Amino acid sequence: MTQIVLDEKQAAALIASRGQVRLCDAVGKVLGIAHPVFSPEEVDEATRRASSPGIWHTTDEVLKRLRSIDAK
């Protein structure tokens, strides 16, 4: 596997992101996508939230609602 070492600024930007990050060359061409690696604490928190009581909605339901708001 190839390893690329990021400088401090690049590493900080990647760490600060809360989701996927597009990796681009100097002209903006997307070269790849970096996926986040979650810490055990983040996994525990997500598990806790997922098991909490309340109303849940499917992705389709959320998208339908967002599209209805956007259409107004």
How far is it, in rounded angstroms, from Cα 11 to Cα 64?
36
Range of the domain at 60: 8-70
In a domain, 2, yes or no: no
**Stated pTM of the model:** 0.49
In a domain, 19, yes or no: yes
In single-letter form, the type of residue at position 16 comes to A
In a domain, 20, yes or no: yes
Per-residue pLDDT of the chain (72 residues; tens, 9 = 90+): 889 899 999 988 888 887 889 999 999 999 999 888 888 898 899 999 889 888 889 999 999 999 999 877
CB atoms within 10 A of CB 23: 15
What's the structural domain count of the chain? 1
pLDDT of residue 37: 83
pLDDT of residue 33: 92
pLDDT of residue 25: 93
